[in-house]
Amino acid sequence: MSWIFKLTDIPASGLSLDRLVEPAELELSQDDGTVIGHMRCVGSLAKPDDRTVYFQGLLEGRIARECVRCLSVFEESLNLPCLGLFKKTSRVKGVDIAGGRHAQHQDEDRNDEDDVYPIDANQVDLLPLIREHVILAAPFQALCSDACLGLCQGCGANLNTEKCSCVVPAPVMESEGVFHPDLSIADKQSSGRSPGNRRRRSVRK
C-alpha cells in the first residue's frame, strides 16, 4: 500500500486515514525492535495552501525488543502521537533510511515543534515520518523490567527465572547496567591481595 498522496487528492476539508502499516515497510533494525503483526495509523492530512501539508495522527501496535540485561525478548504496546509538517522548500529534514538517523535543517517558516518533510512533485510521502516516529520511540536501553536481575557472568543463568548455580554471591548491579559476581567479605579477608585487586580480577574484560 502506497503512503504517497498527491496534493490534488487532499481536499480543503482534509483527508482522513485509517491504515495498517506492514512491518517490512518500516525496515527496522534489530535495535529498533520488531513489529508484531501490523501497526495501525489513524490520522488526517490538512492542506492550508498549495505549499504546506500537515499530518496529525496516532500509531498503534505492539513491538518486541531484546532486554539488554537478561537478553530475553519482551513485548510492549506502542501508542505514538504522530505529527509532521510537509513544505515545498529545499531546506527540510532528511531521513537516513539505512542508518535510522536524520539530519535536521531549519527553515525560516518552520515551527520548532514540527518536523519538516519535503513536498516533492506535488506529493507527500508519509512513510519516512511514520518510520522515524517508531525509531525514536525505541529506548536507549531496552529493559524487560526495571527490576531485571540480568544474567550471571559466571554460569549465564537468567537470574529472573532461576537461581544462580555459582558459589559466588549474588550479582552486583553496576551503574552501567552490567552485572558481575562480586567477592564475599570472607574471600577478601583470606586473600593476601587487597579487595580492590581481587574485584578487578573477578570481572571479565
Task: Return the domain boundaries, the chain.
Answer: 4-136, 149-205
Cell of 20: 495498517
Q: Please, which pLDDT band fits residue 155 given cuts at 50, 70 and 90?
A: confident
Report residue 100's pLDDT band, with 50, 70 and 90 as the boundaries: very low
Output the pLDDT for position 153: 86
Return the pLDDT at 90.
59
CA distance 68 to 141: 6
Question: Cell for 13?
Answer: 476539508
pLDDT of residue 198: 38
Inter-residue contact 16 to 44 (CB < 8 Å): yes
Q: What is the mean pLDDT of residues 54-72?
A: 95
On whether the pTM is more than 0.85, the answer is no
pLDDT value of residue 97 = 40
Q: Angle CA(141)–CA(101)–CA(73) in degrees, nearest 5?
A: 30
Predicted confidence at residue 168, as pLDDT, reads 58
Going by pLDDT thresholds of 50, 70 and 90, the confidence category of residue 183 is very low
